[in-house]
Structure 1
Amino acid sequence: MRKMSHMAVKIKSAIFGILSTSISLIVAASLLELYVRLVETDGTNFDIEMWRYAKDLKRISDIPDVGHEHIPGKSGVYMGVPVTINSAGWRDREHSLEKEDGTVRIMMLGDSLTFGWGARPEDVTSYRLERLLNTRKNKVEVINTGIGNANTAMEANYFIKKADVYNPDIVILNYFINDAEQTPRRTNNFFLENLYSAVFIAGRFDVIMRRFFGKSDWKQYYRDLYLEHQTGWLATQNALIELVSYCKARNIRLIVVNYPELHVLSPYPFEDITNLVASKVKVLGIPFLDLLPSLEKKAPHSLWVTKTDAHPNGKAAGLYADAIMKFLVKQYPATFEDPAPTENIDEIK
């Protein structure tokens, strides 16, 4: 009898210990979730804001090899700036399917840099470019199809299988060094899908792993994308070939514009990768523009949307738009006359 009583006490004690630990963990997790929701949602935490954007404004695409797409008609505020998705699924004004007579239609393909992550609508490169190109000779329409966390393969497939119905005269494929990544697949992790705190912890964990446990730093990570055997880089090259062939068959003019990584500009640590990408583009007979020279003598942080987010701000967008405009005028003089003197780009804040 005493043994039974002693065993019952041990069982009760074990159950109490488990319950106490569980309750403590639940309370701690709840407090962390509350903290993140109250403190880290001020519009400056990149991980949280990008997660909110993906959760609110994106869906899995039905189009093969596109990955994800925007949900038409959705809107929100991310990184402290308004984002509105039009009926076509773009962060842009509405565009009619039929092009107006005498209009030159340019379509930009790209990722979060093209989308204008963290930038006000008027501080996005496509908006600045359209304003610069609208001269008295032709009306110019610039369509921005950019979407966060996209790569070249996704962008090319999206254009070929959906966006081509807008019949652009010129397609600008905006390229960034991480475009050689593999197409992201949405996870079904309950915690990362629903909890702010899980996203916050995952971001901090990645920083710790890179800083203290030998995980590749950002420079090495980018370099590793361009190893010959990397699946993403091979898919990028195949997508370029397919896009070039598609555009040539339909008399669509195509150019590739390379956007620099804004953490370090001089000396630029990825010049060899830019040259590699340029060689792959030029061998296909496509014009290639590197935007790095447009940022000469500019302090990197002066071009960021926030102190911790190196996406291009309005100042960078103005410099980019000016460089792209001049490149287009040079490449296609019969289409674009020399525009009137532009605004002083250096004064754009």
Structure 2
Amino acid sequence: MTARENPVKAFISAAGLVLLGLLMAGAAVEGLVRLATSSQQNYLIEMWRYATLLKRKSTDPAIGHEHVAGASARLQGVDVSINSLGMRGPEPDLQTAGKRKVVIIGDSTAMGWGLPENETLRAQLAAQLGPTAEVLTTGVGNMNMAQIVANWLRHSEKISADAVIVLATARAPALQEAGQAGWLVRHSQAYALLVSFIDIAISNTPGEAGLVAAYKDMWVGGRGRMSMDRALDRLKADQAKKGYQVIVMLVPEPHSFNPYHFHFMTEAMRSESEKRGWTFLDPLPSMQKQPAQQYWVANNDVHPNAKAFLLMADLLRPHLSH
């Protein structure tokens, strides 16, 4: 029987050829995207690689996602290694008696995104404090304050910290979307890049005024701010039980320091810190001496660089001497 005599067979055959063509085209696009981003300079792709190579879904929904203990990868041109505790950095010494344990909690800034290990805040502060201190960071990328605190609290009993530094950023009150990335997002760079571009286009608020307004919506009220404040309360309760020192440092919103339009964040975090009896530190006055771009880790990436972290370490050190 010919294809003309069996239209169903003809349709299936044609559909199979179309599907094969689409699969081949998709594979070609994927290959081109991977080749084009092999220099590790594309921020969106490097964040995608970080999420797929070094992170996993946490069994604790309050944490959401976590580092894979013992994993390592080269991201944005630098080596990133996760130790047995699920933290970036070398294996910590938690056994030596009398060694002061200092823990930096936060998001990708606390992790030291885009920097070699020896240039991160953790490493620079460790170098300044010397061998009598052990400095760790629980920083994991793309966490809000509720996740940051939940991630620390699961380590609190084991580490017995003497001091906890809350390295807060502008996105501390941001709400995280629930759910897990689909198979295509997790396995295809091309599809992940497309989804990222669509998300940016949908959520984009044009201009500086739009950015200020978007952050005011986060910081002045709403569910995100309430979630952040409740997380700080949980940290205060753990501090009361364990007796460690808490220092809060707010990393300035990095796009422009002169003029700076985000003092409402500083005042909000200062108020929340002081009402809980915590030391609040603001690195902005020191950083305003140079343009904001001088503190970016790359031209297309506003995460803090080694120079920014040196200023922060200098500001922190006098409060950790005792």
Once residues 186 and 85 of structure 1 are traced to their aligned partners in structure 2, the CA distance between those partners, rounded to angstroms, is: 24
When normalised by structure 1's length, the TM-score is: 0.83
Q: Please list the CA deviations of residues 117-160 of structure 1 after superposition, one character each: whole Å capped at 9, or x if unmatched.
A: 000111101111121222xxx82221111111112111212222
Q: Please list the CA deviations of residues 176-229 of structure 1 after superposition, one character each: whole Å capped at 9, or x if unmatched.
A: 110112245452412111111011112222344456999x95444333222522
When normalised by structure 2's length, the TM-score is: 0.89
Contact in 1 for aligned 2:138/2:151 (Cα 8 Å):
no
Once residues 219 and 18 of structure 1 are traced to their aligned partners in structure 2, the CA distance between those partners, rounded to angstroms, is: 51
Q: Counterpart amino acid of 1:141?
A: E
Once residues 323 and 140 of structure 1 are traced to their aligned partners in structure 2, the CA distance between those partners, rounded to angstroms, is: 17
Once residues 152 and 323 of structure 1 are traced to their aligned partners in structure 2, the CA distance between those partners, rounded to angstroms, is: 22
Q: 1:247 aligns with which of 239, 256, 271?
A: 239
Partner of 1:158: 151
**Amino-acid identity (%):** 29
Q: Please list the CA deviations of residues 42-87 of structure 1 after superposition, one character each: whole Å capped at 9, or x if unmatched.
A: 2111111111111111122223512121111111100110001111
Partner of 2:133: 140
Structure 1 segment 167-186 matched on structure 2, within 5 A: 167-186=160-179
CA spacing shift, 1:211–1:162, aligned 2, 3 Å: closer
Once residues 243 and 184 of structure 1 are traced to their aligned partners in structure 2, the CA distance between those partners, rounded to angstroms, is: 23
Once residues 179 and 211 of structure 2 are traced to their aligned partners in structure 1, the CA distance between those partners, rounded to angstroms, is: 22
Once residues 212 and 32 of structure 1 are traced to their aligned partners in structure 2, the CA distance between those partners, rounded to angstroms, is: 30
Task: State the 1:16 CA deviation.
Answer: 6.8
CA spacing shift, 1:175–1:116, aligned 2, 3 Å: same
SS of residue in 1 equivalent to 2:164: strand
1:282 aligns with 2:278: no
Partner of 1:234: 226
Q: Please list the CA deviations of residues 305-326 of structure 1 after superposition, one character each: whole Å capped at 9, or x if unmatched.
A: 1110111111111111112224
1:94 aligns with 2:91: yes
Structure 1 segment 53-64 matched on structure 2, within 5 A: 53-64=50-61
Once residues 72 and 290 of structure 1 are traced to their aligned partners in structure 2, the CA distance between those partners, rounded to angstroms, is: 32
Q: Counterpart amino acid of 2:259?
A: P
1:221 aligns with 2:214: yes
Q: 1:69 aligns with which of 66, 71, 88?
A: 66
Query: What is the aligned length?
Result: 320
Partner of 2:197: 204
Q: Counterpart amino acid of 2:139?
A: G
Unaligned runs of 5+ in 1: 336-349
SS of residue in 2 equivalent to 1:109: strand
Structure 1 segment 1-349 matched on structure 2, within 5 A: 18-19=15-16, 21-101=18-98, 103-134=99-130, 139-209=132-202, 218-230=211-223, 232-326=224-318, 328=319, 335=322
Contact in 1 for aligned 2:69/2:86 (Cα 8 Å):
yes
CA spacing shift, 1:304–1:188, aligned 2, 3 Å: closer
SS of residue in 2 equivalent to 1:226: helix
RMSD in angstroms over aligned alpha carbons?
Answer: 2.7
Q: Counterpart amino acid of 2:175?
A: Q
Task: State the 1:10 CA deviation.
Answer: 7.6
Unaligned runs of 5+ in 2: none
